[in-house]
Amino acid sequence: MDNRTFEIRVRGIVQGVGFRPFVYRIANELSLAGEVLNDTEGVLIRINAKTFEIPGIEMKIRGESPPLSKIKSIETKEIDQIAFTEFNVVESEITDQKSAFIPPDTAICENCRRELFDKNDHRYKFPFINCTNCGPRFSIIRDIPYDRKQTSMHKFPMCSRCQSEYENPSDRRFHTEPTSCPVCGPRYFLYDKDRKLIVEQTDKIISMCSEYLKNGKIVAIKGEGGYHLAANAKDTDSVRELRERKQRPFKPFALMVRDLNIAEEFLEISEVEKGLLLEREKPIVILKERKKRVSDLVAPGLTHLGIMLPYSPLQHLIFEEIENMVLIMTSGNISDEPIISEEDELFEKLASVADYFITSDREIIQQSDDSVLFVNNESPYMIRRSKGFVPIPFFSSHSDSNIFAAGSDIKNSFALSKENLIFVSQYIGDLESPLTEQKYIRTIDHFKNLFQIEPSVFVSDLHPGYFSTKITDRLWSNSGTRIKVQHHHAHIAAVLEENNTDDKVIGISFDGTGFGEDGNIWGGEFLIADKREYSRAAHFSYFPLPGGEAAIKDVWRIGLSLLITAFGKDPMPDGPKRKIIAELIEKNINSPLCCSVGRLFDGISSLLGFSDSISTEAEAAQLLEEAALRSDTTLKFPLEISGRSGKEPLLINSSLLVKELIRNKERGVPADDLALAFHNSIADITIKTLKLLRNKTGINRVALSGGVFHNRLLLRMTEKYIRSEKFEILLPKELPFNDGAIAFGQTVSAKARLKN
């Protein structure tokens, strides 16, 4: 049978992952003539083969594809005969469509790490070493197809040696776009806080940086997605100084150690957690402290620490010098602002924070923070989805409309969707900062260009005052379709999509804030929901939030509100400030009603003396959880469920809990026991409410979402109770419980509405 010419179109994450070299090797192995190239849709292969050979070729492409690749589809068609005589990798092409996926940044591979420390290798101690299987991708790409000229490496022409490797099909750097070496590649530079250049030789930078860290100095270090602030985690004075300069009194600092052996010396690490730490994404993993190795100021009042292993060549070189030291490696920013990735902004914002600065001349096109995960019941859960995972798309139901979803104002990520793909952005941050809003708009524009998505549908939260809502209104400008999705419905819709179900569920969404359809602040919700619609089936009782946003920071106000709601007056009047807030509540002045479980945690934390004012979200709740972990009591308090016979939602009255808590406190029950009793009570009333709703609706599936479930103790209790009552439970998989999932859920809900 004669050879014919076939065109094989491969879509997915197939650029920047060594796919063309991989196809080249397959072609030579099978003695096929033809060509392979990148274009704006993915990878295109043209080969001469016999018809019966094609299924085997497709199977080989799927089964042996490079480790960083992710194939979405393979389509093959016969085309007019082309007289190929050999197989070649050819120049990229621009097509009418942009549908190629971009790989995320990944940690240095073992081969490159070995070369990094091989004195006989010409890339010995070269801090930008990478190959087909590792290194920067998303952070350096301006546009597709993925060619060097489309990246921030375009300003570094390859030397003859790198060019030879680049063109050699048997080399690991065959068509590796970011490849370079000490002769032709980028460089690092060491500056002082006045932006005065100190040195630019890599070995001297590493040596001096190590000495600075050993001597308690704070060093800003450029990474792949932005700058880190590094400090000696054991040096309490250094950690205290970093907290003061960074304006970050409580929020825990992330740590970095040389290897897993060092981490195991002072942390409890399960096999699942080890696997996460060693994955090529190299996320921060939240682990329980086993013994003291770092300053108490790293995570004040907490026994869980966030830790990661080195992933960039420079980080490995630094740890080779400092060996067993534990480093703080926290995002280079002022608290609540995005991670800094540009040099001018670095010196403008952090000259008063860091003592020294390590910069480079390789531009970061897209900033991204380190991703953060935790493990519960041997299952990993995302807290922050960013570096290493973005911009891998989610596959969804098909839609003819291109959709933009704004996400939430807190822990923001946005989403852009076309056809059956949803691209969720990296973690952006809190939109109340003007700087964050600028980066948010810039990142939207980058995603729109990169993935060729011009939205015709614009989705946001219901809240009219959210920054994300106002930005969406500006982007929409009365052109296209405008959709608003209730916050907690978006939470549940995200979980349904991740679990690939269209059925109605009982959705539990516990968080801090979400604008409700009645104009109040929701956050203690039981919804009967599918992706398209929901009804409110039950919720916690309302209490005033005196001063509105001010109460979220001064959580003692919430504690006072809970007391007045439960007892009808302040049972412990003390001081003029307390009397003023009590008057706000009694006269209903700037005191919006709230039923949020997150705020309930804050108020109880205050009533038990763990926190009166906070500097970061969930601070009071974390301290309450920490106290509960110190107790083993089985004590729990009653919560009344009313409205069982009517059509209105069931109402969980939290005032009974507050009264019992105060009575037990006055009887001398330790605060730690009361903290655990509170957790026991929330988990207990949750399962009682679920059983009532199952009896009423016949629905046996439960979906959990909302940032409160990042509380490991409450999640563990709630999941245990739900499973013990034979419910089927749906949980997030690749997105967080928190508002990082909102844009995805908004997109899912909008798709369902458009479909119907």
pLDDT digits (tens, 9 = 90+) for 252-275: 999 999 999 999 999 999 999 999
Q: What is the pTM of this model?
A: 0.94
Structure-token pair, residue 427: 């973690």
Task: State how far the Cα of 685 lies from the Cα of 687, in Å rounded to an integer.
Answer: 6
Q: Other CB atoms closer than 10 Å to residue 146's CB: what's the count? A: 24
Indicate if the pLDDT at residue 489 is higher than 60. yes
Q: Are strands 33-39 and 70-79 parallel, antiparallel or unpaired?
A: unpaired
More confident of the two residues 93 and 531:
531
- pLDDT for res 144: 80
Residues 179-200 have a mean pLDDT of 97
More confident of the two residues 102 and 558:
558
Q: Residue count of the chain, please give it.
A: 756
From the number of C-beta atoms within 10 Å of its C-beta (0-12, 13-18, 19+), residue 333 rates as buried
The answer to whether residues 537 and 506 touch, using CB atoms and an 8 Å cutoff, is yes
- pLDDT for res 183: 97
Q: What's the pLDDT band for 99 if we cut at 50, 70, 90?
A: low
Residues 505-514 have a mean pLDDT of 97
Q: Is 699 helix (H, G, I), strand (E, B) or coil?
A: coil
Q: Other CB atoms closer than 10 Å to residue 99's CB: what's the count? A: 19
Indicate if the pLDDT at residue 574 is higher than 90. no
Average pLDDT, the chain: 94
Indicate if the pLDDT at residue 633 is higher than 90. yes
The answer to whether residues 360 and 188 touch, using CB atoms and an 8 Å cutoff, is yes
Residues 472-486 have a mean pLDDT of 94
- pLDDT for res 704: 98
Q: What's the pLDDT band for 98 if we cut at 50, 70, 90?
A: low
- pLDDT for res 335: 74
The answer to whether residues 488 and 522 touch, using CB atoms and an 8 Å cutoff, is yes
Q: Is 255 helix (H, G, I), strand (E, B) or coil?
A: strand
Instruction: Provide the edge-to-edge strand list for the sheet that holds 33-39.
Output: 70-79, 4-13, 42-49, 33-39, 87-89
Half-sphere exposure of 305 (CA within 13 A, CB side): 31
Structure-token pair, residue 227: 């700058």
Distances 2 to 339, 390, 661 between C-alpha atoms, Å: 59, 45, 84
The answer to whether residues 509 and 558 touch, using CB atoms and an 8 Å cutoff, is no
751-756 long-range contacts (CB < 8 A, ≥24 apart) are 751/396, 751/397, 751/399, 751/403, 751/417, 751/531, 752/493, 752/530, 752/531, 752/532, 753/483, 753/532, 754/399, 754/401, 754/457, 754/481, 755/397, 755/399, 755/532, 756/532
Structure-token pair, residue 29: 């192995």
Indicate if the pLDDT at residue 426 is higher than 80. yes
Report the percent of the chain where pLDDT is more than 70.
99
Q: What's the pLDDT band for 350 if we cut at 50, 70, 90?
A: very high
The answer to whether residues 115 and 316 touch, using CB atoms and an 8 Å cutoff, is no
Per the listing, tokens 């990661």 go with: 308
Residues 385-401 have a mean pLDDT of 94
- pLDDT for res 72: 87
* Digit-coded pLDDT (tens) for 288-318: 999 999 999 999 999 999 999 999 999 999 9
Residues 81-109 have a mean pLDDT of 84
Q: What is the dihedral of CA 731, 735, 738, 744, to 10 degrees?
A: -110
**Range with the lowest mean pLDDT among 370-379, 404-413, 574-583?**
574-583
* Digit-coded pLDDT (tens) for 46-74: 999 999 999 999 999 999 998 888 888 99
Indicate if the pLDDT at residue 283 is higher than 90. yes
- pLDDT for res 96: 66
Distances 585 to 539, 553, 596, 603 between C-alpha atoms, Å: 21, 17, 17, 15
Q: In what helix (H) or strand (E) does residue 744 lie, and over which residues does it extend? A: helix 742-755
- pLDDT for res 69: 87
